[in-house]
């Protein structure tokens, strides 16, 4: 039995929406289509599991940027890939889309073959992340004997609403397989749980920010060019601008550095690109 791959489209132009729906259905995807943000919000709970959102930007009421920010603020959609689809091709619009958490940005008009390749790349990457998380969660539940057992709670919420690592469980993080947990200074990346902590408090990240940080931390001390990072983090099928990397690096620095103008973790290598400190 195969798992349904559902794509949600929010596009107010009926002809474009129908073109996308037809081609996605031809690739075997289940499709839910809405004409505006309000319809999406009112009906999303009944849609089921979503593996990709495709959002037009110029929509009546809530625009695509607002919808993307709304999705990213909710735990169940915080890492679900979001593709922005729009006729607005200015750099400012692209940067804004990336800043609110979009994973890809496609401008109209677009070639349908390239569009479908981008869709497939986003969904494949999302499924790999979900599969890794699910397998690890099942193994840990079996080991602990109960999902609510005293030994199964590693993280808890603090008074401000963030998530902290209790002092008594810091040793548990240190003792875990180094392939699951990456640590540097006050940064802890727990790959099994797909979470990042700074000074014990959870930091919210988009899926792309998380993958970029993980790649840099796993190769600390190695300087990568922007093209190399696009290829290795976004995937070889990604056709984008190196500006995309700069935007995500800037967002990571804002979230992780005490002074993002003078970063100590993610370093700029003049004439090369970026590296995570060794």
Q: Count Cβ atoms below 10 Å from residue 202 Cβ, excluding itself.
A: 20
Q: Does domain 153-276 have CATH number 1.10.10.10?
A: yes
Listed by start position, the domains of the chain span: 6-126, 153-276
Could you give the CA distance from residue 103 to residue 46 in angstroms, rounded to a whole number? 24
pLDDT digits (tens, 9 = 90+) for 50-80: 999 999 998 888 999 999 999 988 888 988 9
Could you give the CA distance from residue 249 to residue 243 in angstroms, rounded to a whole number? 10
Question: Is 60 exceeded by the pLDDT of residue 182?
Answer: yes
Share of the chain above pLDDT 90, in %: 37
Could you give the CA distance from residue 154 to residue 141 in angstroms, rounded to a whole number? 12
Q: Count Cβ atoms below 10 Å from residue 131 Cβ, excluding itself.
A: 10
Rounded to 5, what percent of the chain is helix, strand, coil? Answer: 45, 20, 40
Q: What CA dihedral angle connects 256, 259, 260 and 262, to 10 degrees? A: -120
The CATH number of the structural domain formed by 6-126 is 3.40.50.2300
pLDDT digits (tens, 9 = 90+) for 7-20: 999 999 888 899 99
Helix axis angle for 112-144 and 14-26, nearest 10°, is: 60
Question: What stretches of the chain show up as alpha helix (H) in DSSP?
Answer: 14-26, 37-43, 64-72, 91-99, 112-144, 170-175, 207-218, 226-229, 243-256
Give the pTM: 0.54
Burial of 53 (0-12, 13-18, 19+ CB in 10 A): buried
Per the CB < 8 A criterion, the answer to whether 126 and 80 are in contact is yes
pLDDT digits (tens, 9 = 90+) for 257-276: 999 889 999 999 998 999 99
Could you give the CA distance from residue 49 to residue 46 in angstroms, rounded to a whole number? 9
What is the pLDDT, as a whole number, of residue 164? 41
DSSP summary character for residue 189: E
């Amino acid at each position: 039995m195969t798992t349904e791959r559902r794509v949600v489209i929010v596009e107010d132009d009926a002809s474009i929406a129908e073109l996308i729906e037809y081609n996605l259905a031809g690739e075997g995807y289940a499709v839910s289509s809405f004409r505006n943000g309000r319809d999406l919000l009112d009906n999303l709970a009944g849609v089921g599991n979503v593996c990709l959102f495709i959002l037009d930007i110029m929509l009546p009421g809530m625009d695509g940027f607002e919808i993307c920010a709304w999705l990213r603020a909710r735990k169940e959609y915080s890492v679900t890939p979001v593709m922005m689809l729009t006729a607005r091709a200015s750099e400012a619009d692209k940067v804004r889309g990336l800043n609110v958490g979009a994973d890809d940005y496609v401008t109209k008009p677009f070639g349908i073959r390239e569009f479908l390749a981008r869709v497939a790349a986003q969904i494949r990457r999302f499924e790999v992340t979900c599969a890794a998380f699910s397998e690890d969660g099942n193994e840990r539940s079996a080991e602990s004997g109960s999902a609510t057992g005293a030994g199964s709670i590693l993280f808890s919420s603090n008074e401000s609403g963030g998530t902290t690592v209790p002092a008594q469980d810091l040793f548990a993080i240190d003792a875990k397989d180094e392939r699951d947990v990456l640590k540097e200074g006050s940064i802890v990346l727990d790959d099994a749980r797909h979470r990042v902590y700074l000074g014990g408090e959870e930091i919210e990240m988009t899926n792309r920010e998380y993958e970029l940080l993980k790649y840099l931390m796993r190769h600390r001390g190695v300087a990568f060019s922007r093209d190399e990072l696009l290829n290795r983090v976004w995937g070889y099928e990604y056709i984008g601008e190196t500006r995309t990397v700069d935007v995500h690096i800037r967002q990571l620095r804002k979230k992780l550095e005490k002074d993002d103008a003078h970063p100590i973790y993610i370093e700029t290598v003049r004439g090369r690109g970026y590296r995570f400190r060794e």
